[in-house]
Structure 1
Amino acid sequence: MQKKYRIKKSTEIEKVMKRGRSRANSYFIIYKCINKEIANPRLAVSVGKKVGKAFERNKVKRYIRNITIEHLNEINPDYDYFVIARKGVKELDYAECKYQLEQLYKKIGMIPKS
């Protein structure tokens, strides 16, 4: 994922969590906060140690980023997003992870409902 689409600073992530709205399912939590200063959507991803070992966490992060990149042209550019993976996500294969994340993206208004 290109740098212009990432949130890296912890202060910006905290801002998204404090000011934004959130939606969740049993595998993910997504926070959404308006940011009209930047002309493109930005994303931060967090996968905690409860999910598993480093290779499992990295795999989940890759899944989240790839799914988001697939929908990049549909995402509203006025928002910053913060995705948190929950404990049970490591058991999902790519297709199920994609389905669960897309449903949550639609629920929070990140991508249009079809």
Structure 2
Amino acid sequence: MQKSYRIKKSQEIEQVMKRGRSKANPYFIVYKYANKETDNFRIAISVGKKIGKAFERNKIKRYIRNVTTEHKHEMNPDYDYFVIARKGVKDLDYATFKEKLEQLYKKMDIIPK
């Protein structure tokens, strides 16, 4: 995923969390915030240290970026997103991981149903 699609500044991530809407399931929390200042959607990903060692956290981040990239053309460019992985996510295989994240994206109208 290109750098123009990422949110890196902590102030911007806090803005998405405080002003955006959120939904959750046992594996993820997703925040959605309207931002008309950028040309495309942006995403921030957080995987806490409670989830596992660095290689496990990096794998989960790669999975989230991969699922998001697959739906890149369906996502509304006027929004910023923040995805937080929860503890149970490391036990999922990729197919289940993808299914659970897509369900949450559909629930929030990020991707079409």
- Runs (4+) of structure 1 exceeding 2 A deviation are none
Among all aligned residue pairs of Structure 1 and Structure 2, give the percentage whose two residues are the same amino acid: 75
Q: Deviations over 1:34-88 (max 9, x none)?
A: 0001110000000001111110000000000000000000001110000000001
Aligned length, in residue pairs: 113
Q: Which runs of 5+ in 2 are unaligned?
A: none
Partner of 2:50, secondary structure, is coil
| Residues in 1 aligned to 2:93 and 2:43: alpha-carbon distance in whole angstroms | 22
Q: Which residue of 2 aligns with 1:2?
A: 2
SS at match of 2:57: helix
TM-score, L = length of structure 2: 0.99
Q: Structure 1 counterpart of 2:50, which letter? A: K
Q: SS of 1:76's equivalent?
A: coil
Q: Structure 1 CA distance, aligned partners of 2:27 and 2:63?
A: 13
Q: CA RMSD in A?
A: 0.4
Q: How many Å separate the matches in 2 of 1:73 and 1:82? A: 18
The residue correspondences of 1:17-32 to structure 2 (distance < 5 A) are: 17-32=17-32
The AA in structure 2 aligned to 1:83 is: V
Normalised by the length of structure 1, the TM-score is: 0.98
Please give the secondary structure, in 1, of the residue aligned with 2:98: helix
Mind listing any 5+ residue stretches in structure 1 that lack a counterpart? none
Partner residue, 2:107 = 107
Q: How does 1:21-100 map to 2 (within 5 A)?
A: 21-100=21-100
